[in-house]
């Protein structure tokens, strides 16, 4: 029962992490305009994402434009685009692998040992996905903070941390938690199976004792002859 609860919790966390990964990849709020210095009173918000930048005028109208070229992005956003695309694919593969290893799934049979290894594979994929999400989010956040406190950078070009970065950090933690839960399922299943095969039943022990007691040895027969 506890193993089944861990499987359900891991699958729910994995689904949330997969949706969060795709959402962070699409969202344009990786970098947002900073209202400092001469930019304290402005009537437009600037959002910069992995695929487009958006300008929102006075909370009324918003215009978005897709980047003309990948080379137009900064190096951290270029790397973030590739890593987040890879994370989206990995999260989908991990989620589908987890479904195949669930206790209620009959596609892979009823062998708990096989299913526990499938769930372990899904857990490893989820952990790798969480790390892959964490790297670009932290990299872009570090670049934003470094430029924000750099006096050489023009105040109009300084940016703040966008909502996508906070969602990305949360998504990475959820994915790693999902992988940890599936790993716990594997450990519990292996421990139960090893405990089941290591302790013989009392009835089997008594039966083997009576068999040994009733069957005389060849050496004892030869003495009577």
In-domain check, residue 222: no
In-domain check, residue 92: yes
Rg (CA), the chain: 29
pLDDT of 79 above 50: yes
In-domain check, residue 137: yes
Determine the Cα–Cα distance for residues 131 and 84; give it in Å rounded to an integer.
11
In-domain check, residue 128: yes
- Percentage of the chain surpassing pLDDT 90? 42
Condensed to tens digits (0 to 9), the pLDDT of residues 160-179 reads 899 999 999 999 999 999 99
In-domain check, residue 216: no
Domain total of the chain? 1
Determine the Cα–Cα distance for residues 213 and 216; give it in Å rounded to an integer.
7
What is the predicted pLDDT for the residue at 164?
94
CA-angle at 64, arms to 63 and 70, nearest 5°: 155
Average pLDDT value over all residues in the chain: 81
Could you tell me the sign of the dihedral formed by the alpha carbons of 25, 85, 132, 175, in that order?
positive
pTM over 0.85: no
Residue whose token pair is 């487009």: 52
In-domain check, residue 15: yes
| Structural domain boundaries, residue 106 | 1-28+73-192
In-domain check, residue 33: no
Residue whose token pair is 């790390």: 131
Exposure string for 73-96, b = 16+ CB within 10 A, e = fewer: beebbeebbebbeebbebbebbbe
In-domain check, residue 163: yes
The answer to whether residues 27 and 42 touch, using CB atoms and an 8 Å cutoff, is: no
| Cβ partners under 8 Å of residue 108, min gap 6 | 100, 101, 114, 115, 118
Q: Which CATH number fits the domain that encloses residue 24?
A: 1.20.140.150
């Amino acid at each position: 029962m506890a193993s089944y609860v861990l499987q359900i919790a891991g699958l729910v966390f994995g689904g949330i992490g997969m949706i969060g990964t795709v959402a962070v990849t699409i969202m344009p709020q990786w970098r947002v305009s900073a209202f400092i210095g001469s930019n304290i009173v402005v009537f437009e918000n600037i959002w910069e994402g992995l695929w487009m930048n958006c300008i929102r005028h006075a909370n009324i109208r918003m215009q978005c434009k897709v980047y003309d070229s990948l080379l137009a992005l900064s190096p951290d956003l270029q790397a973030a685009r590739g890593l987040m695309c890879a994370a989206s694919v990995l999260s989908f593969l991990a989620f589908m692998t987890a479904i195949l290893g669930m206790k209620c799934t009959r596609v892979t049979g009823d062998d708990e040992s096989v299913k526990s290894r499938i769930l372990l594979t899904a857990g490893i994929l989820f952990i790798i996905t969480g790390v892959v999400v964490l790297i670009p989010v932290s990299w872009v956040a570090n670049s934003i903070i470094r430029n924000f406190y750099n006096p050489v950078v023009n105040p109009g070009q300084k940016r703040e941390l966008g909502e996508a970065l906070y969602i990305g950090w949360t998504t990475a933690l959820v994915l790693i938690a999902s992988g940890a839960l599936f790993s716990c399922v594997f450990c519990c299943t292996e421990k139960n199976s090893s405990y089941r095969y290591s302790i013989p039943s009392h009835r089997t022990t008594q039966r083997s004792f009576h068999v040994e007691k009733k069957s005389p040895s060849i050496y004892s027969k030869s003495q009577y002859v």
